[in-house]
Amino acid sequence: MSMQDDEITKLYYSIGEVSEMFDVSKSLIRFWESEFDILKPHKNSKGDRRFTQKNLDQFKIIYHLVKERGFTLEGAKKEIKNNKDSLIKKNEMLKSLTNIKGFLEKLKGDL
């Protein structure tokens, strides 16, 4: 998953953009939205989903548990229910470390 600098400033992302960011299908995003209570993107008057940065962070937690760690959907739901605060903190820490890594790599390239 990679985000470019110009994407970071966006307030809302379409389901297609989220699909590309995580390399998953739009139908999987819709399915996870129906399965996980924490994932509730905004919908406009036409019913199009609009994902905020908070929604992306929530989706990343689900993605990490299911796709990267191999949890079942039920197992991921239990993990989120029992350790939600811890998972959010870990996600924020990983985001910070990724930003620091990018900054250091850019700095190294400038030298």
- pLDDT, one tens digit per residue, over 63-82 is 999 999 999 999 999 998 88
CA distance 109 to 13: 30
Contact 41, 55 (CB under 8 A): yes
Q: Would you identify the CATH topology of the domain 1-54?
A: Multidrug-efflux Transporter Regulator; Chain: A; Domain 2 (1.10.1660)
Q: Are 63 and 24 in contact (CB under 8 A)?
A: yes
CA atoms of 47 and 66, how far apart (whole Å): 27
Cut 0.85: pTM above it = no
Average pLDDT, the chain: 87
Helix (H, G, I), strand (E, B) or coil at 23: coil
Whether 2 shows a pLDDT value over 80: the answer reads no
